[in-house]
Amino acid sequence: MMKRTPISVKVLSLLYLVLAGYLFWSASRLPDRVASHFNAAGRPDGWMDRNTHLGLMAAIGFAFPLLMSGFFYLTRKMPAGLVNIPNREYWLVPERREQAFDRLFDHSLWFACLLAGFSVGMHHLVTQANLNPPPTLSGSQVLTCMGLFVIGLVTWVIQLNRRFGIPKGD
Protein backbone atom coordinates (compact mmCIF):
# COMPACT_ATOMS: atom_id res chain seq x y z
CA MET A 1 0.00 0.00 0.00
CA MET A 2 1.34 3.44 -0.95
CA LYS A 3 1.80 5.97 1.79
CA ARG A 4 -0.12 9.23 1.26
CA THR A 5 1.74 12.51 1.11
CA PRO A 6 0.78 14.65 4.13
CA ILE A 7 -1.08 17.84 3.28
CA SER A 8 1.65 19.80 5.10
CA VAL A 9 4.17 18.62 2.46
CA LYS A 10 1.81 19.66 -0.32
CA VAL A 11 1.25 23.11 1.21
CA LEU A 12 4.99 23.60 1.79
CA SER A 13 5.72 22.55 -1.79
CA LEU A 14 3.15 25.05 -3.05
CA LEU A 15 4.64 27.83 -0.92
CA TYR A 16 8.10 26.97 -2.26
CA LEU A 17 6.77 27.20 -5.82
CA VAL A 18 5.19 30.58 -5.03
CA LEU A 19 8.43 31.81 -3.46
CA ALA A 20 10.56 30.59 -6.38
CA GLY A 21 8.17 32.12 -8.90
CA TYR A 22 8.03 35.42 -7.03
CA LEU A 23 11.81 35.60 -6.68
CA PHE A 24 12.13 34.91 -10.41
CA TRP A 25 9.44 37.48 -11.29
CA SER A 26 10.89 40.18 -9.04
CA ALA A 27 14.49 39.65 -10.21
CA SER A 28 14.00 41.73 -13.35
CA ARG A 29 11.84 44.34 -11.64
CA LEU A 30 14.00 45.20 -8.64
CA PRO A 31 16.56 47.99 -9.04
CA ASP A 32 20.28 47.15 -9.10
CA ARG A 33 20.54 48.61 -5.58
CA VAL A 34 17.70 47.27 -3.44
CA ALA A 35 16.49 48.98 -0.29
CA SER A 36 16.55 45.94 1.97
CA HIS A 37 16.19 47.37 5.46
CA PHE A 38 13.86 50.11 6.59
CA ASN A 39 13.53 52.26 9.70
CA ALA A 40 10.34 52.64 11.74
CA ALA A 41 9.16 55.43 9.42
CA GLY A 42 9.40 53.09 6.40
CA ARG A 43 12.44 54.82 4.92
CA PRO A 44 15.39 52.72 3.74
CA ASP A 45 18.46 52.60 5.95
CA GLY A 46 20.14 49.53 4.47
CA TRP A 47 20.87 48.52 0.87
CA MET A 48 22.03 45.42 -1.03
CA ASP A 49 22.74 44.70 -4.62
CA ARG A 50 19.84 42.89 -6.30
CA ASN A 51 21.52 39.47 -6.55
CA THR A 52 22.59 39.50 -2.90
CA HIS A 53 19.07 40.43 -1.82
CA LEU A 54 17.50 37.70 -3.95
CA GLY A 55 20.04 35.14 -2.73
CA LEU A 56 19.40 36.07 0.88
CA MET A 57 15.62 35.89 0.43
CA ALA A 58 15.99 32.49 -1.24
CA ALA A 59 18.22 31.23 1.57
CA ILE A 60 15.87 32.50 4.26
CA GLY A 61 12.74 31.35 2.47
CA PHE A 62 13.93 27.88 1.45
CA ALA A 63 16.68 26.85 3.86
CA PHE A 64 15.43 28.18 7.20
CA PRO A 65 12.10 26.29 7.09
CA LEU A 66 13.92 23.08 6.11
CA LEU A 67 16.51 23.55 8.85
CA MET A 68 13.76 23.96 11.42
CA SER A 69 11.97 20.81 10.23
CA GLY A 70 15.30 18.99 10.18
CA PHE A 71 15.88 19.96 13.78
CA PHE A 72 12.43 18.64 14.71
CA TYR A 73 13.20 15.41 12.84
CA LEU A 74 16.46 14.98 14.75
CA THR A 75 14.68 15.20 18.11
CA ARG A 76 13.95 11.48 17.69
CA LYS A 77 17.67 10.91 18.37
CA MET A 78 17.59 12.94 21.59
CA PRO A 79 17.08 11.51 25.07
CA ALA A 80 13.42 11.75 26.11
CA GLY A 81 14.30 14.16 28.92
CA LEU A 82 15.44 16.75 26.37
CA VAL A 83 12.26 16.55 24.28
CA ASN A 84 9.70 19.10 25.39
CA ILE A 85 6.27 18.08 24.11
CA PRO A 86 2.95 18.11 25.94
CA ASN A 87 2.34 14.90 27.91
CA ARG A 88 5.87 13.69 27.25
CA GLU A 89 5.58 10.82 29.72
CA TYR A 90 2.61 9.44 27.80
CA TRP A 91 3.94 9.93 24.27
CA LEU A 92 7.56 8.91 24.68
CA VAL A 93 7.03 5.43 26.06
CA PRO A 94 8.55 2.85 23.69
CA GLU A 95 5.24 1.74 22.14
CA ARG A 96 4.24 5.32 21.19
CA ARG A 97 7.64 6.92 20.66
CA GLU A 98 7.78 6.48 16.87
CA GLN A 99 4.23 7.77 16.45
CA ALA A 100 5.05 10.78 18.64
CA PHE A 101 8.09 11.73 16.59
CA ASP A 102 6.19 11.25 13.34
CA ARG A 103 3.49 13.59 14.68
CA LEU A 104 6.10 16.09 15.81
CA PHE A 105 7.85 16.06 12.44
CA ASP A 106 4.57 16.48 10.55
CA HIS A 107 3.67 19.35 12.86
CA SER A 108 7.08 20.91 12.18
CA LEU A 109 6.25 20.95 8.48
CA TRP A 110 3.34 23.27 9.30
CA PHE A 111 5.83 25.52 11.10
CA ALA A 112 7.97 25.41 7.96
CA CYS A 113 4.88 26.53 6.00
CA LEU A 114 4.50 29.49 8.35
CA LEU A 115 8.14 30.46 7.85
CA ALA A 116 7.97 30.09 4.07
CA GLY A 117 4.72 32.06 3.91
CA PHE A 118 6.23 34.82 6.04
CA SER A 119 9.23 34.93 3.69
CA VAL A 120 6.93 35.30 0.69
CA GLY A 121 5.05 38.09 2.43
CA MET A 122 8.16 40.01 3.47
CA HIS A 123 9.75 39.66 0.04
CA HIS A 124 6.53 40.98 -1.47
CA LEU A 125 6.60 44.02 0.83
CA VAL A 126 10.26 44.77 0.10
CA THR A 127 9.67 44.33 -3.63
CA GLN A 128 6.67 46.65 -3.59
CA ALA A 129 8.62 49.19 -1.56
CA ASN A 130 11.36 49.22 -4.20
CA LEU A 131 9.10 49.57 -7.24
CA ASN A 132 8.36 53.24 -6.65
CA PRO A 133 10.98 55.89 -6.02
CA PRO A 134 11.74 56.73 -3.33
CA PRO A 135 11.47 53.27 -1.76
CA THR A 136 9.03 53.30 1.16
CA LEU A 137 7.88 50.36 3.23
CA SER A 138 4.32 50.44 4.52
CA GLY A 139 4.34 50.04 8.28
CA SER A 140 0.73 48.88 8.34
CA GLN A 141 1.46 46.17 5.78
CA VAL A 142 4.49 44.99 7.76
CA LEU A 143 2.36 44.85 10.90
CA THR A 144 -0.31 42.92 8.99
CA CYS A 145 2.27 40.41 7.73
CA MET A 146 3.78 40.04 11.19
CA GLY A 147 0.33 39.82 12.78
CA LEU A 148 -0.67 37.01 10.43
CA PHE A 149 2.54 35.19 11.29
CA VAL A 150 1.87 35.56 15.03
CA ILE A 151 -1.72 34.34 14.60
CA GLY A 152 -0.37 31.36 12.65
CA LEU A 153 2.21 30.69 15.35
CA VAL A 154 -0.37 30.82 18.15
CA THR A 155 -2.60 28.47 16.14
CA TRP A 156 0.39 26.17 15.61
CA VAL A 157 1.09 26.04 19.37
CA ILE A 158 -2.59 25.36 20.17
CA GLN A 159 -2.63 22.55 17.60
CA LEU A 160 0.61 21.14 19.04
CA ASN A 161 -1.05 20.90 22.44
CA ARG A 162 -4.13 19.24 20.92
CA ARG A 163 -2.06 16.84 18.86
CA PHE A 164 -0.20 15.68 21.95
CA GLY A 165 -3.18 15.44 24.24
CA ILE A 166 -3.88 12.14 25.92
CA PRO A 167 -6.61 10.29 23.99
CA LYS A 168 -9.82 9.64 25.89
CA GLY A 169 -9.86 6.17 27.36
CA ASP A 170 -6.09 6.04 28.00
Is the pLDDT confidence value at 67 over 80? yes
The C-alpha angle with vertex 47 and arms to 41 and 53, in degrees rounded to 5, equals 115
Task: Write the DSSP assignment of 87-135 as a string of letters.
Answer: THHHHTSHHHHHHHHHHHHHHHHHHHHHHHHHHHHHHHHHHHHHHSSSP
- pLDDT averaged over every residue in the chain: 95
Q: What is the pTM of this model?
A: 0.91
Cα 102 to Cα 75, 92, 109, distances in angstroms: 11, 12, 11
Question: Which of these, 139, 137, 129, 142, lies nearest to 31 by C-alpha position?
Answer: 129
> Which pLDDT tens digit goes with each residue over 82-115?
999 999 999 999 999 999 999 999 999 999 999 9
Query: CA triplet 7, 152, 43: central angle to 5 degrees?
Result: 125
Q: How is the chain split into domains, by residue range?
A: 9-22+32-163
**What local confidence, expressed as pLDDT, does residue 5 receive?**
83
Looking at the DSSP bridge assignments, the partners of residue 38 are 44
Cα(23)–Cα(110) distance, rounded to whole angstroms?
22
Instruction: Compute the average pLDDT of residues 141-170.
Output: 95
CA–CA separation, 93 vs 100, rounded Å?
Answer: 9
